Amino acid sequence: MTRGRVAYAGAIHEAYPHGDGVRLADGRLCREEDVVWLAPIEIGTIFALGLNYADHARELQFAKQEAPLVFLKGPGTVIGHRGVTRRPREVAFMHYECELAVVIGRTTARNVPREHAMDHVAGYMIANDYAIRDYLENYYRPNLRVKNRDGGTVLGPWFVDAADVPDVGNLELRTYVNGTLRQRGNTRDLITDVPALIEYLSGFMTLAAGDVILTGTPRGTVNVDAGDEIVCEIDGLGRLVNTLAPDAVFGRE
């Protein structure tokens, strides 16, 4: 099943794809732009992967890592489809990151071997996880100003059940900036794939339902500016739209 969450007419609704719009759980049909999109599920802990595509690591001239580069993200970073993200005026290089988001299911995951890892996956979403390169100290320590900014992690538009994604190891990712294709990759090129990530993380901490693993982004990240529209696509998961806005929109003159 494919589903999302939206705010409409003063209430929060579960929503489903319907043509170019959405169908609310009560049967009402709405245009996509007439609802406020939320993250498709209630989000738990967010685990984000850095440099998990070989081509992106090469793009940044980064040597092969011995273990996955993982960091955590706070709940204030998350916004939904068609949301607006602040682009600070003082930074020189801010870029998108189209990523496969893996959602842990109902079963508590602890010390999960690779061969059983996918039993703990509930489904998938698209993520656009912005980064500000100016503040990066080093790739093993992406500090808070780089990756934990309010509204800097866009999730959605849909949560797609794992059963509806037959081969998570062969999904194409694409990012468009103002309609121009800028980034393209495939999950088959992940350095640490989804089962291995679950095995690794669950080996030293417990994963719970609603936890999200952002699996990294391929090469092709370029600077984006206020006013740009960023669209991330992943095969079978939909089309995630986001717009960057200047400081003034957020009351910062």
- Give pTM, 2 decimals: 0.94
Q: Is the pLDDT of residue 27 over 90?
A: yes
Q: Is the pLDDT of residue 139 over 90?
A: no
Predicted confidence (pLDDT) per residue in 89-113, tens digit = 999 999 999 999 999 997 789 999 9
Q: What is the pLDDT of residue 92?
A: 96
Lowest-confidence pick of 34-48, 126-140, 209-223, 228-242: 126-140
- DSSP string of the chain? -EEEEEEETTEEEEEEEETTEEEETTS-EEEGGGSEEE-SS----EEEEES-BHHHHHHTT-PPPSS-EEEEE-GGGEEETT-EEE--TT-S-EE--EEEEEEE-SS-BSS--GGGGGGGEEEEEEEEE-EEGGG--BTTB--HHHH--TT-EEEEEEEEEGGG-S-TTS-EEEEEETTEEEEEEEGGGBSS-HHHHHHHHHTTS-B-TT-EEE----S---B--TT-EEEEEETTTEEEEEEEE-GGGGT--
Q: What is the pLDDT of residue 96?
A: 97
Q: Is the pLDDT of residue 43 over 90?
A: yes
Better pLDDT: 143 or 167:
167
Q: Is the pLDDT of residue 58 over 70?
A: no
Mean of pLDDT over the chain = 92
Q: Quick check: 87 and 131 in contact, CB under 8 A?
A: no
Q: Residues 148-154: what's their mean pLDDT?
A: 92
Domains of the chain, CATH where assigned: 1-37 (2.30.30.370), 39-250 (3.90.850.10)
Better pLDDT: 45 or 55:
45
Predicted confidence (pLDDT) per residue in 165-215, tens digit = 999 999 999 999 999 999 999 999 999 999 999 999 999 999 999 999 999
Question: Cβ neighbours of residue 113 under 8 Å, at least 6 residues apart?
Answer: 199
Confidence class for position 235, pLDDT limits 50, 70, 90: very high
Q: Is the pLDDT of residue 141 over 70?
A: no
Q: Is the pLDDT of residue 60 over 90?
A: no
Q: Is the pLDDT of residue 42 over 70?
A: yes
Q: Residues 66-87: what's their mean pLDDT?
A: 92
